[in-house]
Structure formats: C-alpha cells, structure tokens
Amino acid sequence: MTYNLESFYFTLNMYDLRRMNVMSEITPFRLLISREKAVETVLDAVKPVDRVELVQIEMAANRVLAKNIVANMDVPPFDRAAMDGYAVRAEDTYGASEFSPKTLRLVGVLRAGESTNKSIGRGECMRIATGCPIPPGADAIVMAEFAEESKDGNTVSIFKAVHPLENISPKGEDLKKGEVVLREGDILSPAKIGVLAALGLRRAPVYQKPRIAIIPTGIEIRELGFKLAEGQVYDINSYTLASLLIENGALVTRAPIVPDNREDLKNALYRFLNHDLIVFSGGSSVGERDMLADIIEEEGKLLFHGVQIKPGKPTLFGIVRGKPVLGMPGYPASCLSNAYIFLVPMVRKMARLPPKKPTIIRAKMARRFVSASGREQFLPVKIIDGKAYPVFKKSGDITSLSKADGYVILPVNLDVIEEGEEVSVTLFE
Amino acid sequence: MTYNLESFYFTLNMYDLRRMNVMSEITPFRLLISREKAVETVLDAVKPVDRVELVQIEMAANRVLAKNIVANMDVPPFDRAAMDGYAVRAEDTYGASEFSPKTLRLVGVLRAGESTNKSIGRGECMRIATGCPIPPGADAIVMAEFAEESKDGNTVSIFKAVHPLENISPKGEDLKKGEVVLREGDILSPAKIGVLAALGLRRAPVYQKPRIAIIPTGIEIRELGFKLAEGQVYDINSYTLASLLIENGALVTRAPIVPDNREDLKNALYRFLNHDLIVFSGGSSVGERDMLADIIEEEGKLLFHGVQIKPGKPTLFGIVRGKPVLGMPGYPASCLSNAYIFLVPMVRKMARLPPKKPTIIRAKMARRFVSASGREQFLPVKIIDGKAYPVFKKSGDITSLSKADGYVILPVNLDVIEEGEEVSVTLFE
C-alpha cells in the first residue's frame, strides 16, 4: 500500500480525532503540560508549614528551627582553665625559663568539678584541672608540662612565662548571653544540637513536619496480608510513596483503600482535607483518573491533568478548599517515578528542607534505546562497570525501578539514543 | 640568651622527660597512634549486627534486608490488560487498517476490578479496562484509540492489527514465583519496598540497628534543664553524639551522667555491656580519661589511648568482655569531630550500611592558618563565596563546629597553610 502525503495527513487527523472522541466519551480532552511547567505549578501551590512544635533535642536532627535561639547565659558560664596545670598571676611568671624557673607557693588543688573562693596572692599558685573556674586573683594557667611540684608539695617551679589570659577560656567565649546563636530556618545538625545543649535546653522549637495523606484507590487493589481474589493485586503505591515521603521529612497518613467511584473518592478527599497535602495513589484505568479530575474541578480548581512525560502522563493536580491535591498514575513504576519528579520537591518545600541535591553521574548507554513517545522519557537504568543499562520494562512493573540505580531523563524531541552515547544518570540513593 | 645546638637538644629532652614524668604521675605514658591506624583498629574490632527483626514495610526505608526474599506468587498474578481497549483474538485483526477496519461482535465489558469466565470466540471482542484479567480465548488488546463502537453497542470497528500478546502483561512478568527478588544485604529503597508490597508482605525481615550506649561522664557535667551550680556546665556531648549516631542507623541509649571516679565508671561500663558498643563521652581532664583507660586495661584490653590528631588526642579504645568501648575527648568540638572520624564508620559497619560518601569540595583558604601541633589537624571551615574560612576557636567551643560547613584535615607534617592555597573540604550536611 502506498500513501501520498495528503492521505497520510488525513490518516493522522483521523487518529487524532478518534483519540479526542474516545477520550471525550470518558473525559474532556485536556492538553498535556511540560514537566518543567508542572513542577513549577505544584511548587507554586504549596506553602512551607508554619506550625511549630517542641521536640527533644536528641530527636531533632535534620529538623528545621522555627525561632531564633538567643543565648540565655554565657558559655562557658565562668572563666575556666583550658588546660590541666597551675593557676597563677601571670606577672609572677615573667622571665621564667627552663634555666631560671620561678618558684611559687602551692596554696591548693582544684580537681574536676571543684571551685574555690580562695584568692591567689602574689607568688602563689593553685593546681587546677581543665574546666575548673579560675580562682580569684589568678589570670593565667601554666600548663602542667612546664611546671614541677616540689617533693613536699609546698612549692611549684614554673619553667615558662605565661601572659595574662593564657590558657584561660573566658566566660562567654563560646556563646555570649543575649547573642543570637542559631537562626530560624537553620537545619539542626549534631553541632547545632550541641549549641542547644550548651544552653541547657532540652527541647527545640521546630516546624512541624508536613502532614500528607496518601489515599490508595481502585476496586482491584487489595490490602497487604489479605488473600487476593481473581483480578486483584496488592496495593503497592501507598507503600512506595509513604517511605519516600517519610525520608523527605513528611508525616504520612495512609488511608484505607478507596473504591473508585465518585461518592467514595469525594468522601475520602473531604475526610483527609485536614492534611497539608492529599495524594491519591491512583487507579490504573482512564476512567478512575478522570473521576478524580472531575471531582477536583467541581469542588475546587484543577491546575493540570496530564504531563508530557513517560511514564506518568495521567498525573493531575489541583486545589480544593485551599489544599493541594495530587493524583498519581496507578501503575507502580509510573507512580514512583512521578513521585521523584513532583512529590519530593513539593514535600521538601513544605518541610522547609533545601531541594535534594541528587548525585548525577555520566555514563555511556550500554545499548540502543528507542523513545518515540513524543514525551520526555523517565528511563530507569542500572549502572554496571560505568555503563547505563535500561531496566525499564512496563509502567506496571515495580521491578522497573527496584532494579535500577538511577534514571535518565530523555528529552521530548529525542527518538533514539544510541549505544555508547553519554547520558546523565541521577542516582536514587 | 643564646642556645647552642647541644643545650637546645638538652632543653628538648628535659621537656620531654618532664612531660613523661608529669603524665606518669597521673597516667602511664602511651604512644599516640595515627588516625589511619586508629580507624583501622576500631573497624577491625566491630562486627555487623546479626540480630533480625520484622519491621512494617512503610517504616523499613534504609533498613538492611536480613534474608533473601523469594517471590511467593506471580506478579501480576494473571495475564492482564496493559491498556484500556478491547480484548480480541489477534488473528481476527490481521489486515485491519484505517481504511479497511475489521468488525467484531462486542460480547461484554470488563470494568476495573472485574473478571470473567466468558470466553471470547472467533469474531468476538470484549471492552476491557487496564489491569483486568484477560478473558479466556483472547490473546491481545486493541487500544481504545484504534477501535470504535457502533451506535447500538453491538459491534466494534478495529482499525489496527495486533499481534498475539500485544498490550498484555503476562502473569509473572514483573515477579516470577520462586525467583529471588530481593537479596540479603539489600538496603530497602522505596522501589524495593514496592516489591515487598507487590508480594503482599506487610513486614520485612531486617537486621536490627546496633544498640549503642552513650555514657556522659564528669563531676562538673550537669543534666539539661537543671540549674548550674558554680563550676558546672551542661552535658553537650551525649546529645551531639546521640543525634549523629541516630542519623547513621544506630539505636541510642543515653545513660545518666556518671561522676568520674573508678567505682562509678566501672559500674556504668558493666551496666551497659549489654549494648553493641559503649561510648564514654568523656571527661575533660587528663585524670578522668586515664581512669577509664585503666579500667579497660584491667577488665579487658586497651587497644589504643591517644591519636595523632588535633583536636582529639585523648581518644581511647578497647574491648571489655567482647564489647568495644570507646572513650571520647571531653571537649565538645573534640568529641564531635572525633565522632565523625571514628564513630560514624564504626556504626555504619555495625548497621551494615555502606561507608558514608561525603561531599568533598575544593576551596581556597581565605586566610593563613598555622598548625604546629605535630599532629594531623581537623580544621572546621565555613565556606563563603567558594573560600574556606577557618572557624575553629577552642576544642571546648561547640561553636567551632556549629558554625562550620565542613572540615579540612591538614597533614601531620604541615605547619602552615597559606592564604589562597587550595584545600579539600569535607562537607558536614
């Protein structure tokens, strides 16, 4: 059969018209938007969480501080010895050397945890442990290595001069009372937690984690641990999404599975609107997805339905009563790959965490890959000996992702990527 | 005063002798070992935890699988439709095209979650939703876009031929019954958690987290939330260590503060020997640290006491009744920087997590830094406009680390690093 140019165009148009027709029976036709535009839309729509809670500091690592922390005291709270040695009046040591030591009277000993009111007078010294408050009158510490006690313990020979304040950590040197020592927005590292501890604070004011509801949908989806009936499969998406979201700073509520009918979907949406974000983990058929789109359109505003990426075209997003609602594709590999693209950035913004800096490596394609979808392609790959092997099977296959080390995003206009071509692989870890 | 070479040597020797002498009063003199040797020693001494526990899969991200997972079923559990469309016998569609469609009798509809025993005969087809089991007799799916139902709903025009198995996900395509789908030692990613869910498994067998006891010591150390008496400071180290260890996969028990006397230290050690690792978060004075060294030597084996790094010389390590015991420096900045060097690799080995791959950047020193300690130097730096500013104040100052973005390790034999010289900065994040 031969096609002339005209009939070829005609053919295309017929396909397009039929596709629009088929879809319009089940759903109004909608234009796909680009991935960049979709990411921008979801990020614009979500707000960082403002609610604050107090968290035990040892559990506060990677949480985001909600208030400036002003030092309520000086740290150290007193001038203290920075070395084991002898507290002296510095001027008594001037001129001391290995060959002409100065001799001071030993008037006491301060062991760890001890302090004294006893004053150090001219020509006197006191043995002192690191961390002890400097006794009145003394203004420097001679390190133990540069001093020698007499046999009777009455005097100490000083072999090295010290200047005033030498080997002393002055009060407030580390943290000064009234100073802002940590700032709102700081992510609490172990060292910053140490600053809170230094001030005696047991709990830190941090922003609450965003509360995200995951609602698995689909009449064919079964709860884990139950026996499958004919035609049923286990719920995968709510578990992959939950673990990914928890890792990225969210608090997740997993709803029971909702059958894909309007009434139940709408009830579930309203039941979980007390969350900061509602994610439907998606039915696999067109009908189910469009039901959700219709509900969002009726109850709020649908911002997009359909993204120009493969897999993941059916992703949809809208706002209902001020709350962002995301509908994910039902197929496990599509759902999870779209979660990396859309959900992770949203959640991190809500949690006030910086965007994830993924590790990106360059690798050569181990074999030719054809991508003629007319959309961007999210291509999971396994890295073996520095080469990228595509592992994508079907959107429905979770092993498309579980066996992958990372993914490549192939541009819309790329149909074929040849063996040996270099690609940028974003690693999952 | 002038020194000739001989007296200079003599002087040095006198210092060394006195230092040995002073230390031997309080502690037997011990040789410092290199950082590399110390890390090797601690890593040799700890074992990965063998105990196994079952964890809910949504909480199992980043846990380490303790057993191979063999698929207990096929996934999908039946041949299913990969597209919305029409289940057909492929041979009935051969030759179909846009211009000469084939017409088939529509004998039924399968909506999501439905299945049927009804067989598809010659010249017949059934409308089918993605994910439904393929009805008996059918061997391919024609996508909805390439088919059109008649007005009366009795027939369907097929505009494109399909080959057998087209648009069908065969039973077991994703996971095959009996196949090892995840392996012992795998770190559970969201996608691997999806594999467990696909098999209906609610819980995963994972290795337990290493149980680590942190014992803060020092008579001068006070619990957070209490009022400080003269000479006291708050416990910082147990909190910085706890948060760092939790981040790296440990389960932490924080002991109450132990006064630094032999009896209490020894009791605390034995009380917490039921842990996989015991960490003393360190007294600040020489006496305290040596008491712990003596106890380890008497009760077990002391493997090193003193590391050639600044800060952190007093770090010690040994084995008591088969359990590794680590003594950390008392000063907060020393303690935490040594934890990054020694504790994190130990804990990750125990938790069976891969060594941390830190982000290392190159930066130019913003100013000259003198490091004449004769030891390696762990130098915290802040990065501003690509330049590295040393922020180290004193080992006692937690702000030495809380204000740093990362650290540089300066070699033993380096005394001065000049402004503008390039260094490798390991980022904390």
Residues 284-323 of A with CB under 8 A from B: 284-288
Would you say residue B286 has pLDDT above 70?
no
Question: Is the Cβ of A97 closer than 8 Å to some Cβ of chain B?
Answer: yes
- Contact between residue B199 and residue B73 where contact means Cβ atoms under 8 Å apart: yes
pLDDT tens digits along A311-345: 888 899 999 999 999 999 888 999 999 999 999 99
Looking at residue B284, its pLDDT comes to 53
Looking at residue B357, its pLDDT comes to 84
pLDDT tens digits along A6-63: 333 333 334 444 444 444 343 443 578 899 999 999 999 999 999 999 999 999 999 9
When mean pLDDT is compared over A274-278, A333-337, B79-83, B143-147, the highest value belongs to: A274-278
In this structure, the answer to whether residues B408 and B383 fall within a common structural domain is yes
Looking at residue A327, its pLDDT comes to 94
- What residues in A contact B97, CB-CB < 8 Å? 1
- What residues in A contact B220, CB-CB < 8 Å? 112-113, 131-132
DSSP string covering A320-370, please? ETTEEEEE--SSHHHHHHHIIIIIHHHHHHHTTPPPP---EEEEEESS-EE
DSSP string covering A213-281, please? EEE-B-TTEE-TTSPPPTT-EE--HHHHHHHHHHHTT-EEEEPPPB-SSHHHHHHHHHHTTTSSEEEE-
In this structure, the answer to whether residues A198 and A87 fall within a common structural domain is no
B57–A224 C-beta distance less than 8 A:
yes
| CA–CA separation, B115 and B391 (whole Å) | 68
pLDDT tens digits along B348-377: 999 999 998 888 999 999 999 887 677 888
Within a domain: residue B320? yes
Of B326, B304, B329, B301, nearest to B314 by C-alpha is B329
Tell me the mean pLDDT in the region B91-108: 95
Average pLDDT of chain A to the nearest whole number: 89
| Displacement of CA B404 from its chain's centroid (Å) | 22
B98–A11 C-beta distance less than 8 A:
yes
- What residues in A contact B228, CB-CB < 8 Å? 73, 77, 200
In this structure, the answer to whether residues B192 and B164 fall within a common structural domain is no
In this structure, the answer to whether residues B105 and B62 fall within a common structural domain is no
* Tokens encoding A41: 């839309």
Place of tokens 């004769």: B374
Residues in chain B: 429
| CA–CA separation, B31 and B13 (whole Å) | 17
Buried b (16+ CB within 10 A) or exposed e, B181-202: bbeeebbbbbbbbbbbbbbbbb
Question: Is the Cβ of B87 closer than 8 Å to some Cβ of chain A?
Answer: no
The enclosing domain of A69 has a CATH number of 3.90.105.10
B114–A15 C-beta distance less than 8 A:
no
Paired strand residues for A279: A214, A326
In this structure, the answer to whether residues A95 and A106 fall within a common structural domain is yes
Work out how many domains chain A is built from and give that number.
4
Beta-sheet pairing, B316-320 with B323-327? antiparallel
Question: Is the Cβ of A84 closer than 8 Å to some Cβ of chain B?
Answer: yes
Tell me the mean pLDDT in the region A116-131: 95
- What residues in B contact A219, CB-CB < 8 Å? 111-113
Mutating which of A15, A241, A398 best tests the B interface, going by the most B Cβ atoms within 10 A? A398
Lowest mean per-residue pLDDT among A30-34, A269-273, B89-93: A30-34
pTM to 2 decimal places: 0.88
Would you say residue B10 has pLDDT above 50?
no
Which of A57, A195, A339 lies nearest to residue B398, judging by beta carbons?
A195
Question: Is the Cβ of A153 closer than 8 Å to some Cβ of chain B?
Answer: no
In this structure, the answer to whether residues A332 and A232 fall within a common structural domain is yes
- Contact between residue A335 and residue A319 where contact means Cβ atoms under 8 Å apart: no
Residue B278 C-alpha, separation from nearest chain A C-alpha, in angstroms: 18
- Contact between residue B290 and residue B22 where contact means Cβ atoms under 8 Å apart: no
Within a domain: residue A335? yes
Would you say residue B27 has pLDDT above 80?
no
Within a domain: residue A370? yes
Q: Which domain holds residue B143?
A: 80-169
Of B281, B227, B293, nearest to B253 by C-alpha is B281
Q: How confident is the model at residue A356 (pLDDT cuts 50, 70, 90)?
A: confident
Which of B84, B230, B239 lies nearest to residue A58, judging by beta carbons?
B239
Distances (CA, A) of A391 to A69, A381, B84: 49, 5, 24
Looking at residue A288, its pLDDT comes to 65
A219–B112 C-beta distance less than 8 A:
yes
Residue B182 C-alpha, separation from nearest chain A C-alpha, in angstroms: 9
Residues 15-44 of B with CB under 8 A from A: 15, 18-19, 21-22
Residues 51-70 of B with CB under 8 A from A: 57-62
Q: Given A307, A331, A350, which residue is the final one in a domain?
A: A350
Q: Least CA distance to A225: which residue of chain B?
A: B200
Looking at residue B219, its pLDDT comes to 87
Would you say residue B34 has pLDDT above 70?
yes
Paired strand residues for B426: B360, B407
Question: Is the Cβ of B14 closer than 8 Å to some Cβ of chain A?
Answer: yes
The alpha-helical segments, DSSP class H, found in A111-185 are: none
Within a domain: residue A177? no
B15–A191 C-beta distance less than 8 A:
no
A175–B113 C-beta distance less than 8 A:
no
| Displacement of CA B167 from its chain's centroid (Å) | 41
What interhelical angle do B286-299 and B5-26 show, nearest 10? 60
- Contact between residue A49 and residue A207 where contact means Cβ atoms under 8 Å apart: yes
| CA–CA separation, B105 and B121 (whole Å) | 10
**Pairs of CB atoms within 8 A across A/B:** 324
In this structure, the answer to whether residues B227 and B86 fall within a common structural domain is no
Mutating which of A189, A257, A360 best tests the B interface, going by the most B Cβ atoms within 10 A? A189
Tell me the mean pLDDT in the region B237-254: 96
- What residues in A contact B401, CB-CB < 8 Å? 191, 194
- Contact between residue B292 and residue B264 where contact means Cβ atoms under 8 Å apart: no
B192–A242 C-beta distance less than 8 A:
no
Paired strand residues for B169: B80
In this structure, the answer to whether residues B218 and B305 fall within a common structural domain is yes
Average pLDDT of chain B to the nearest whole number: 89
* Tokens encoding A66: 């909600």
Which of A19, A174, A230 lies nearest to residue B398, judging by beta carbons?
A174
Within a domain: residue B135? yes
Would you say residue A97 has pLDDT above 80?
yes
The enclosing domain of B163 has a CATH number of 2.170.190.11
Which of A174, A231, A285 lies nearest to residue B133, judging by beta carbons?
A231
The SS3 call for residue A96 is coil
In this structure, the answer to whether residues B376 and B290 fall within a common structural domain is no
Within a domain: residue A10? no
Residue A101: asked if its preceding bond is cis (omega within 30°), the reply is no
| CA–CA separation, A344 and A377 (whole Å) | 18
What interhelical angle do B286-299 and B262-271 show, nearest 10? 50
The SS3 call for residue A70 is strand
| CA–CA separation, A365 and A375 (whole Å) | 20
Residue A201 C-alpha, separation from nearest chain B C-alpha, in angstroms: 6
How many C-beta neighbours within 10 Å does residue B56 have?
12
- Contact between residue B33 and residue B308 where contact means Cβ atoms under 8 Å apart: yes
Place of tokens 């070395």: A83
Within a domain: residue B127? yes
Of A164, A154, A149, A150, nearest to A94 by C-alpha is A164
Looking at residue B11, its pLDDT comes to 36
Of B180, B184, B241, nearest to B48 by C-alpha is B184
Of A119 and A309, the one with more pLDDT: A119
The alpha-helical segments, DSSP class H, found in A76-225 are: 190-198
Lowest mean per-residue pLDDT among A1-5, A224-228, A266-270, B276-280: A1-5
How many C-beta neighbours within 10 Å does residue A158 have?
23
Q: Given A350, A376, A406, which residue is the final one in a domain?
A: A350
Q: Given B292, B316, B350, which residue is the final one in a domain?
A: B350
pLDDT tens digits along A382-424: 999 999 999 877 777 889 899 999 999 988 888 888 999 999 9
In this structure, the answer to whether residues B202 and B214 fall within a common structural domain is no
Paired strand residues for A417: A369
The SS3 call for residue A393 is coil
| CA–CA separation, B242 and A47 (whole Å) | 32
DSSP string covering B182-240, please? E-TT-B--HHHHHHHHHTT-SEEEEEPPPEEEEE-B-TTEE-TTSPPPTT-EE--HHHH
The one-letter amino acid code at B400 reads: S
pLDDT tens digits along B382-407: 999 999 999 877 777 889 899 999 99
Which of A239, A285, A428 lies nearest to residue B84, judging by beta carbons?
A285
* Tokens encoding B107: 């004998």
Of A221, A213, A216, A407, nearest to A309 by C-alpha is A407
Within a domain: residue B16? no
Q: How confident is the model at residue A219 (pLDDT cuts 50, 70, 90)?
A: confident
B200–A61 C-beta distance less than 8 A:
no
Question: Is the Cβ of B133 closer than 8 Å to some Cβ of chain A?
Answer: yes
- What residues in B contact A73, CB-CB < 8 Å? 228
| CA–CA separation, A119 and B1 (whole Å) | 34
Q: How confident is the model at residue B2 (pLDDT cuts 50, 70, 90)?
A: very low
A286–B113 C-beta distance less than 8 A:
no
| CA–CA separation, B420 and B166 (whole Å) | 65
In this structure, the answer to whether residues B326 and B266 fall within a common structural domain is yes
- What residues in B contact A336, CB-CB < 8 Å? 190-191, 194
In this structure, the answer to whether residues B42 and B59 fall within a common structural domain is no
Supply angle C-alpha B264, B267, B272, rounded to 5. Answer: 125
Q: Least CA distance to A401: which residue of chain B?
A: B191
pLDDT tens digits along B410-423: 888 888 889 999 99
Residue A280 half-sphere exposure, CB side, CA atoms within 13 Å?
Answer: 36
| CA–CA separation, B405 and A112 (whole Å) | 33
The enclosing domain of A322 has a CATH number of 3.40.980.10
Residues 321-380 of B with CB under 8 A from A: 330, 332, 336, 339
Q: For CA atoms A415, A419, A425, A427, give the dihedral sign.
A: positive
B60–A194 C-beta distance less than 8 A:
no
Looking at residue A339, its pLDDT comes to 95
| CA–CA separation, A217 and A220 (whole Å) | 9
Which of A82, A240, A242 lies nearest to residue B191, judging by beta carbons?
A240
